[in-house]
């Protein structure tokens, strides 16, 4: 529970109602305290509260780490216990600090710090309901983590986990029936058993939002972006991206139709998502082997070279660390190497393998938990996760309430800025992973395509995952239409559909980890847009990008070893959450709003090529609505 998501509770409002009405603290003489004296008293109280808050937060994070890396009943009980303890301390801190009329403070930083610490999130709930909500989310997350499937047809092995077994099967198998089998088994087991917990989570999420002064959980999440127009900004960006997405979709559907035949893939309908190389159809890079525009050209994949050179997960992380050092950024502390989990444990324990970076709110105590495999994709994931770690290290000097991203998307964007450089042939050659690789126009189109089906097609997926939950939290999607409205949104914005008919007896959204674990997902959408704004600015600082210069483009930029780019990144990251996010963005980019200009510039060569190629192939652009979920409601595309 990030500290900048903590909001006011009802009991606090009642206990200090008089103070909220405008009464200022007075001294024992009943004379008004001067503004200077009031702010001095406030600072003393703030420092005292920050210490309590941070100490309890550290306990909570340690317990969450213990549970996430070893799922046992004992660790779950400890996780619940520390989360409850933290909630109570957060309430107490909010109550003490609300005794000050902090809105009248002249010092803006002091006012901002008070504002952050007088918020409460789920801690607004009474203790019994807080535990009930916590338990509902823990049940969904535990169900997700413990799923084991049997092998296709022979059931010889019934211990297949999502990571790595199912993920690798979905990526590599070209047997449509096998893919459908694993898709159905996963969605049935990850979703349907959690219906009761999911409904409890939705109900209590809404109750907590109202106690915090919001109408619903959607408004709570969007408040993190500190801009009442932000939801509309997001919708505007998704419409800006639509033309290129439709071109990629048309081309990939055509190739899938060639591969699997018209009986499986419609000429004009949505794409059956189990054929896209990923359990959720969120990225399509795993089917690049037969969809790449120029397959006779060598694909950019250094996995074999990594294996040949004896790469290990440790070496991958060491190289990521060295990249940041080359930018004059912070070297990983020894505690990172001592305490992180970078390979899947072999002792039989259940754990959440989903790659994650952790800040323990103490000096230099940062860690990663990742079941790393040696391949090119995970090489880039390593750099992404280390981006989170670098952010933690840059703002660790800030008070606890500022130890977070400028907005939720910033954290996700930082690591990907590095990945945009690391994934270039230029960089892979520098580090000795790319050999005998000559570029020409066709090779470059292949590169843009690979990036497009990795990054660009992810954006509509990321949008729909939270658009769906916004609508659920707002009551615009009712419990008896939870499943079909989810597939309606996936069809409308992503042009994909399930491989078999789904009904309201199913519940498919929790089959994605972030839904089961109550993790807001818009941050990923925001990050995938603003990372290109960050990339453009960093490339300009590194002398790797010049507008209009065909030799110095956004898609051939590597900021490795540029202290100028690294120093500016550090300046932005060191702010943490101490300033509104437009202020932080302006430090690096000179811009104050999210926009799609940079990402569209990056992918322009691919867009131009796809328009011509789809015309040549006669590939239909766009798609008809899916009919793969049956529910009694009128289908009407959302606006």
Q: Mind spelling out the 3-state secondary structure of 42-92?
A: HHHHHHHHHHHHHHHHHHHHHHHHHHHHCCCHHHHHHHHHHHHHHHHHHHH
Comparing C-alpha atoms, which of 108, 119, 113, 97 is closest to residue 25? 97
DSSP-derived letter for residue 231 is: H
**Structural contact between residues 521 and 462, judged by C-beta atoms closer than 8 angstroms:** yes
Distances 337 to 364, 388, 588, 635 between C-alpha atoms, Å: 11, 15, 30, 53
365: left (phi over 0), alpha (psi -120 to 50) or beta: beta
What's the rounded Cα separation, in Å, for the pair 63 and 76?
8
Structure tokens at 529: 């847009």
Catalytic residue list contains 385? yes
Give the orientation angle of helix 522-541 with respect to helix 581-589, to 10 degrees: 30
Catalytic residue list contains 274? no
Structure tokens at 112: 């901002």
Q: Mind spelling out the 3-state secondary structure of 574-590?
A: CCCCCCCHHHHHHHHHC
| Active-site pick, 384, 388, 427, 514 | 514
Comparing C-alpha atoms, which of 175, 171, 123 is closest to residue 152? 175
Comparing C-alpha atoms, which of 538, 531, 488 is closest to residue 508? 488
**Structural contact between residues 140 and 519, judged by C-beta atoms closer than 8 angstroms:** no
Those residues with Cβ within 8 angstroms of residue 221's Cβ, 6 or more apart along the chain or in another chain: 466, 470, 520, 522
| Active-site pick, 96, 385, 401, 544 | 385
DSSP sequence for 528-554: HHHHHHHHHHHHHHTT---TT-TTS-G
What's the rounded Cα separation, in Å, for the pair 606 and 438?
19
Structure tokens at 101: 């009329």
What's the rounded Cα separation, in Å, for the pair 597 and 527?
14
**Structural contact between residues 26 and 32, judged by C-beta atoms closer than 8 angstroms:** yes
**Structural contact between residues 165 and 182, judged by C-beta atoms closer than 8 angstroms:** no
What's the rounded Cα separation, in Å, for the pair 204 and 430?
52
> Rg for the chain (alpha carbons), in Å?
25
Give the active site residues: 385, 514
């Amino acid at each position: 529970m990030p500290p900048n998501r903590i909001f006011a509770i009802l009991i606090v409002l009642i206990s200090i109602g008089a103070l909220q009405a405008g009464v200022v603290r007075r001294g024992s003489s009943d004379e008004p305290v001067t503004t200077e004296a009031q702010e001095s008293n406030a600072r003393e109280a703030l420092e005292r509260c920050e210490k309590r808050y941070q100490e309890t937060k550290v306990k909570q994070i340690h317990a969450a780490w213990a549970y996430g890396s070893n799922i046992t009943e004992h660790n779950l009980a400890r996780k619940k216990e520390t989360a409850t303890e933290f909630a109570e301390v957060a309430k107490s801190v909010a109550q003490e600090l609300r005794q000050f009329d902090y809105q009248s403070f002249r010092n803006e930083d002091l006012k901002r710090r008070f504002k952050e610490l007088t918020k409460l999130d789920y801690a607004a709930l009474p203790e019994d309901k807080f535990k009930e909500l916590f338990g509902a989310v823990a049940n969904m997350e535990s169900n997700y983590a413990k799923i084991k499937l049997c092998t296709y047809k022979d059931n010889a092995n019934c211990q297949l986990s999502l990571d790595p077994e199912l993920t690798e099967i979905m990526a590599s198998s070209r047997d449509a029936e096998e893919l459908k089998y694993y898709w159905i088994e996963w969605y049935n087991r990850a979703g349907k058993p959690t219906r009761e917990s999911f409904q409890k989570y939705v109900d209590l999420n809404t109750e907590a939002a109202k106690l915090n002064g919001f109408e619903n959980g959607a408004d709570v999440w969007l408040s993190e972006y500190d801009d009442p127009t932000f939801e509309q900004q997001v919708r505007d960006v998704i419409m800006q991206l639509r033309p290129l997405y439709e071109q990629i979709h048309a081309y990939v559907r055509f190739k899938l139709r060639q591969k699997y035949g018209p009986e499986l893939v419609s000429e004009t309908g949505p794409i059956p998502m189990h054929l896209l190389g990923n359990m959720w159809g969120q990225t399509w890079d795993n089917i690049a082997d037969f969809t790449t525009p120029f397959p006779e050209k060598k694909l950019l994949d250094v996995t074999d070279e990594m294996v040949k050179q004896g790469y290990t997960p440790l070496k991958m992380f060491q190289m990521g660390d060295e990249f940041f050092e080359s930018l004059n950024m912070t070297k990983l502390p020894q505690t990172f190497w001592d305490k992180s989990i970078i390979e899947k444990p072999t002792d039989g324990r259940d754990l959440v393998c989903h790659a994650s970076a952790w800040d323990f709110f103490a000096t230099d105590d940062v860690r990663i938990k990742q079941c790393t495999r040696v391949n090119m994709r995970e090489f880039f994931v390593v750099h992404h996760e280390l981006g989170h770690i670098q952010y933690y290290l840059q703002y660790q000097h800030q008070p606890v309430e500022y130890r977070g991203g400028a907005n939720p998307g910033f954290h996700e964007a930082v690591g990907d800025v590095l990945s945009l450089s690391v994934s270039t042939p230029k960089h892979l050659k520098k580090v000795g992973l790319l050999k005998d690789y000559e570029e020409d126009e066709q090779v470059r189109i292949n590169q843009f395509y690979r990036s497009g089906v990795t990054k660009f097609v992810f954006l509509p997926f990321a949008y729909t995952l939270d658009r769906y939950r916004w609508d659920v939290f707002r009551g615009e999607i009712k419990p008896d239409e939870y499943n079909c409205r989810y597939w309606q949104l996936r069809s409308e914005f992503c042009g994909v559909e399930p491989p078999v008919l789904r009904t309201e007896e199913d519940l498919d959204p929790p089959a994605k980890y972030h839904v089961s674990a109550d993790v807001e997902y818009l941050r990923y959408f925001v990050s995938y847009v603003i990372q290109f704004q960050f990339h453009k600015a960093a490339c300009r600082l590194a002398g790797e990008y010049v507008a209009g210069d065909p030799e110095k483009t956004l898609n051939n930029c590597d900021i490795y070893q540029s202290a100028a780019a690294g120093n500016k990144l550090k300046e932005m990251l060191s702010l943490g959450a101490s300033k509104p996010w437009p202020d932080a963005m302006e430090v690096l980019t000179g811009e104050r709003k999210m926009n799609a200009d940079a990402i569209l510039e990056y992918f322009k060569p691919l867009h131009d090529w796809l328009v011509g190629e789809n015309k040549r192939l006669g590939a239909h652009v766009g798609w008809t609505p899916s009919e793969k979920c049956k529910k009694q409601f009128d289908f009407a595309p959302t606006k």
